[in-house]
Amino acid sequence: MIPNDFSRGFGPAVLFAGLLLLQVPSLEAQAIVFEGELPRTLVFIDEEGRGKVAAREMTSFLLEAGFPVIDPALAIDQSSQELVFAATNGNDGAATQLGRDWGAQLLILGVADYETVPDPVSGTLITATTYVAVRALRLDLGEVVSDATADARGIDATGQAARTKAIRAATQEVIGTFIGPVLNDWERRPWEETAYWRPDPGSVEELATQQTASTGSAPGIAITRADVLPSGDASATRGIGVVRRDEGGLSNVQNLVRLEGVVVGDARSVEVNGAPALIEPLSGDDASRFGLGTGNARKFSREFTLPVSQDSVSVVARGSGGQTVETFAAPRIDKRWAVVVGVGQYESDDIPDLEFAPDDARAVRDFLLSDAAGPFDEVLYLENEQATGAAMREALFVFLQQADWDDLVVIYYAGHGAPDPGRPDNLYLLPTDTNLDALAATGFPMWDVKTALRRQIAAERVLVIADACHSAGTVDGETVGGGDTNQIAGGFQQLFTPSRRLMMTAADTNEFSLEDSRWGGHGVFTHYLLEGLAGAGDLDGDGIVTFTELFGHVSEGVRGATNGRQNPQMSGLGDIPLALVGG
């Protein structure tokens, strides 16, 4: 029987797409590792004609062999075109970046060229000659592991039919030559994830360690907090990003800003907005929170006023030898973007529907479009039949790619999450068109969520809110959800390295998220989320609900309402203002 307090989530499905090793994020190792028996593969073959015969033949072979293949139609946007051109013309650096940007581990690049002439023997048929060349690159190491070329000839009644025959024959020959070394290499050498993942934009790892490496003995700077502090004056709220930036009458506004960060290496001084910052030792707890050692790192801070005419501030660290390094912070949020997904109805009869997930997502969307939230500038909403795997991928990889570094991105997901039964650390969100008999091809892997966040979304301030920690009943009444643990929650908790990117999930890794009519037609998590945004989360009474205040309200409310059965989780540095009380 399905219990009255429906739990959200789904348990075992089938097929593999790899192994996600959930580790604690650090500078030495990144979480969510794909160690599948076969690599996630992206195919680009440059050829004329609509049919794309060589690409189709190659892709069909890989799918039949069990490779998880990324649809290249989902991996091409305008910004990728130059990389595709460079990669197919022999630039392996561009090829490596292209594949990593779209979450591939193996990139197959090729060229299929042909020409047709009347057949000299028959006089009525067409002869096509073709040349196909391919190479396969491992994207963790950025190197070619196999290549092959082949020529072929085809004769048929039309040029198109002859060309298809010739390209198909040449492609099959190429596959037989180059696929063996690919498989042998993948089996022989373990996946090197450390070289694959790019740090989170604005993370301590990116801004501290990379700056230190690029500037030699100059210090490295990482911003851990850059917030406009509420003033209690409604006319000044423009600065915190919950009131539109183009509102008039604010020319004389001065906002109080709190900026904090860490400096790595030999730093004699740090200046924030032209004035000295307070530099203090870095405690062991702070070092652990930032993913740094205590030996060569210190923290700095400064509070100052920022006029409405200024949106970014300079932070300069100076070494004892006179070397300097400069970075910039944007205390004010510029443009605000959101992707909101609610999946309660599934095409597959094998996946139980969720009663309240669409209502949860719809209410979050409505809040983001309200005056209390600003409203947000761009909100992409996907509900039920709209929330296909292709649409979710386009939302994260294309729509949110437009966000700039000083923008705010919010991602909200309510729906099922599932581990692979054969590889339980391999986790998926379940779009509406998920087929449990082809989970690797139709589920939305956490690998892709992480890839989008690391490689496609430039915004330093990202908030991910996930209510995917569900357990539900199957059609025959059995309760499923991955046993006594809920790995999907752990998958979300491992998305970010220490940064100003924030995460809130509905439950801990050994719990499931509950929904029931007693919470006003919402899951318990989203019920308290909405209540907090409506004003109950304004814990200090300053008229602004921030992320940390909101989590405090949600965490306490959910724990109390479920008698401790469900405990929301959060991660990230700094804070983000989310709601204007009474707005």
Q: Within this chain, do residues 51 and 73 fall inside the same structural domain, yes or no?
A: yes
Mean pLDDT of the chain: 80
Would residue 174 count as lying in a domain? yes
- Res. 531: pLDDT tops 90: yes
- Res. 87: pLDDT tops 60: yes
Please say which residue of 190, 213, 241 terminates a domain: 190
Q: Within this chain, do residues 77 and 106 fall inside the same structural domain, yes or no?
A: yes
Q: State the Cα–Cα distance between residues 487 and 418, nearest whole angstrom.
A: 8
Per-residue pLDDT tens for 182-197? 999 998 998 887 778 8
Q: State the Cα–Cα distance between residues 37 and 30, nearest whole angstrom.
A: 20
Most confident of 14-23, 204-213, 326-335, 502-511: 326-335
Q: Which of 131-145, 201-215, 383-397 has the lowest mean pLDDT?
A: 201-215
Q: DSSP assignment of 399-434, as one string?
A: IGGG--TTSEEEEEEES-EEE-SSSTT-EEE--TT-
Q: pTM value?
A: 0.82
Q: Which of 197-206, 506-515, 555-564 has the lowest mean pLDDT?
A: 506-515
Number of domains in the chain: 2
CATH number of domain containing 115: 3.40.50.10610
Query: Percent of the chain scored above 70 by pLDDT?
Result: 79
Element (H, E) at 301: strand 297-307
Would residue 86 count as lying in a domain? yes
Per-residue pLDDT tens for 314-359? 999 998 888 888 989 988 888 999 999 999 999 998 888 888 899 9
Q: Within this chain, do residues 162 and 245 fall inside the same structural domain, yes or no?
A: no
DSSP strand pairing (408-414 vs 336-342): parallel
Q: Within this chain, do residues 259 and 286 fall inside the same structural domain, yes or no?
A: yes
Please say which residue of 329, 358, 386 terminates a domain: 329
Q: Within this chain, do residues 209 and 294 fall inside the same structural domain, yes or no?
A: yes
Would residue 571 count as lying in a domain? no
Q: State the Cα–Cα distance between residues 416 and 272, nearest whole angstrom.
A: 45
Q: State the Cα–Cα distance between residues 400 and 452, nearest whole angstrom.
A: 9
Q: Within this chain, do residues 185 and 81 fall inside the same structural domain, yes or no?
A: yes
Q: Which domain holds residue 50?
A: 41-190
pLDDT confidence band for 229 (50 / 70 / 90): confident
pLDDT score recorded for residue 206: 76
Q: Within this chain, do residues 257 and 129 fall inside the same structural domain, yes or no?
A: no
Q: Within this chain, do residues 45 and 185 fall inside the same structural domain, yes or no?
A: yes
pLDDT score recorded for residue 215: 53
Instruction: With CA atoms as reference, report the closest residue to 61 among 183, 188, 184, 145.
Output: 183
Q: Which of 382-396, 449-463, 467-481, 563-577 has the lowest mean pLDDT?
A: 467-481
Would residue 210 count as lying in a domain? yes
pLDDT score recorded for residue 256: 86
CATH number of domain containing 258: 2.60.40
